[in-house]
Chain A
Amino acid sequence: MTYILSALGLAALAVLPMLFGDYGTGMLVGLAGYVTLATSWAMFSGPTRYISLATVAFFGVGAYTVAVLNEVLPYPLVLLAAAGIGATMALLVGLSTLRLAGIYFVIFTFGLAELVRQLITWFEVNVTGTLGRYIFLDLEAKHIYWQLLALGAATLALSAWIRRSRLGLALRVIGDDETVAAHSGINLARTKLVLFVASSTIITLVGAIQAPRWVYVEPSIVFNPTVSFLTVIMALLGGATRLWGPLFGAVPLFLLFEWLSARFPDHFSILLGLMFMAVVYALPDGVLAALEKFRRKGNGNSATKPAKEANA
């Protein structure tokens, strides 16, 4: 039943570009991109509570891989190469940083995006001598949207599977108490690494798939730190520990940010920062958790079911 409903929902989403014009389809690309980013971000950061600001580091590497390889390799191989590079980078970063706790991890991941950007800039200026590249791929907005839709659906399916698996339980235990996790037989380093690599690979692919939208690509465009912050705030708004939380956060916030950036282009960053603080203070567990709490209060003490749903 769930499968049939999911297939129908996916089919309905897939025909949307036929109903909207070019502008609408462009919005859909952005929406699908951010839903996928937020969902894959939450796959690792939700249960473990490791707040990663490295999203744009992987996203940008994905986009840049396409920029470099789009005239050399056939498109499917370019995507495969991007996924491979993203996974390798995540493995190296994970091995060196997942021992860091709390705020140190946050700072490292933020620095990572800047480091990668500077490295690529340096390489392009000093070695290849071409800062800025063009992407000539015969892909329309709707093609990009379909790819993102497929990737987003696959990400949600993977998240749902992880939550029901041993791996998902291990992650929740790590989020609660790493000492107990280790003494219960959970290999902390390996568990975190597996998830970090999976999540980062998906993020890299989002960057790779979205890259043709830019046509012209340079490091300052694809390594824009706003992408990292938007991803975090979307996932947190919806609820990073829930399967559908990031989606519920990403959709309204994306639309809101589109409107804000068109209406107040000069004050956009300030508004983003204010919203970030508001979400963290007012809704630490996300909208879905707050709604549930509200509903439980409304139902009085007779409601014992929501506790079960909280884990769904």
Chain B
Amino acid sequence: MSVLLETQGLTKRFGGLTAVNGVSLTVKRGEVLGLLGPNGSGKTTLMNLISGALKSSEGALLINGKDMTGAPPHRIAKSGVARTFQLVKILPSLTLEENVMVPAAFGPDRLWGKALKAQVAECLAMVGLNARAGQQASELTYIDQKRLELARALASAPKLLLLDEWLAGLNPTELHEGIRLIRELEQTGITIIMVEHIMDAVRALCPRCAVMNSGTLIADGPTDQVLSDPHVVAAYLGEEDA
């Protein structure tokens, strides 16, 4: 498998605080990587560095073999990276259809006309919202907003999908449904990095895990192995309890 994403010593400082400290990570095409770590360990900052929302203070970012260090978010999106947000972000004044249209129209393929319509319909159908295509996005419930956000992320047919706690805040039934959706996605061969706190979901969806603690990568490997690593257990529970 060829390498899709590579970070080399990626570092982000906010004033005196180092939120991400020298993270080197390699993700191969088709891999599904779980990104774990206690609150404030730098997971979301790392996702923001990869998607271009933040510029790194040091280190390099390679996507699909191309140097994307310091590239603005729209260029990274155009290179085939899509994301969801930790706090769900929909476009409230647009219809569901228009929401999903956006990355398809401005992403790598720049679809328009019939091809765009077809792509939008397919993505909405995938998350089960196709019957409500003309509805205004502001009318959706929380879980439907999450669905819409996922459909929107998929609309650009991304090579790399970044899910930032996409499963958080769902009830058990919705969670079950969410896991099924992501598993379906995995079948399509898409590469995913998901920040997740729900261990059952991580075990079910991610063959590989990387764990961060205070900005550094402390473990990276097969999920079973990583989750039983004493350093990881200590990071989550504190040294004394481990």
Residue with the greatest number of chain B CB neighbours at <10 A, chosen from A172, A173, A180, A183: A183
Contact with A along B171-213 (1 / 0, CB 8 A): 0000000000000000000000000000000000000000000
Q: B93 contacts which of A176, A182, A183, A184 (Cβ < 8 Å)?
A: A176
When the two chains form their complex, are residues A173 and B74 in contact, meaning their CB atoms are under 8 A apart? no
- Please judge, given known A-B contacts A169-B105, A172-B93, A177-B91, whether A185 and B78 are in contact too, CB under 8 Å: yes
Q: Does B112 contact A (CB under 8 A)?
A: yes
Tally A-B pairs: CB < 8 A. Answer: 72
When the two chains form their complex, are residues B53 and A184 in contact, meaning their CB atoms are under 8 A apart? no
Q: Does A85 contact B (CB under 8 A)?
A: no
Distance in angstroms between the alpha carbons of A185 and B158 in the assembled complex: 12
When the two chains form their complex, are residues A185 and B156 in contact, meaning their CB atoms are under 8 A apart? yes
Residue with the greatest number of chain B CB neighbours at <10 A, chosen from A175, A179, A181: A181
Contact with B along A159-189 (1 / 0, CB 8 A): 0000000100110110111011111111110
Residues of B within 8 A of A181 (CB): 102
Q: Does B72 contact A (CB under 8 A)?
A: yes
Q: A166 contacts which of B83, B92, B105 (Cβ < 8 Å)?
A: B105
Number of interface residues, chain B, beta carbon within 8 A: 32
When the two chains form their complex, are residues B78 and A179 in contact, meaning their CB atoms are under 8 A apart? no
Question: What are 30 A-B contacts defined by CB distance under 8 Å?
Answer: A166-B105, A166-B106, A169-B101, A169-B102, A172-B91, A172-B98, A173-B91, A176-B91, A176-B92, A179-B53, A179-B85, A180-B85, A180-B90, A180-B102, A181-B102, A182-B52, A182-B53, A182-B73, A183-B51, A183-B52, A183-B77, A184-B102, A184-B156, A185-B77, A185-B103, A185-B106, A185-B156, A186-B106, A188-B74, A308-B134
Which residues of B are at the interface with A, using a C-beta cutoff of 8 A?
51-53, 72-74, 77-78, 82-83, 85, 89-95, 98, 101-103, 105-108, 110, 112, 134, 136, 152, 156
Which residues of A are at the interface with B, using a C-beta cutoff of 8 A?
166, 169-170, 172-173, 175-177, 179-188, 307-308, 311
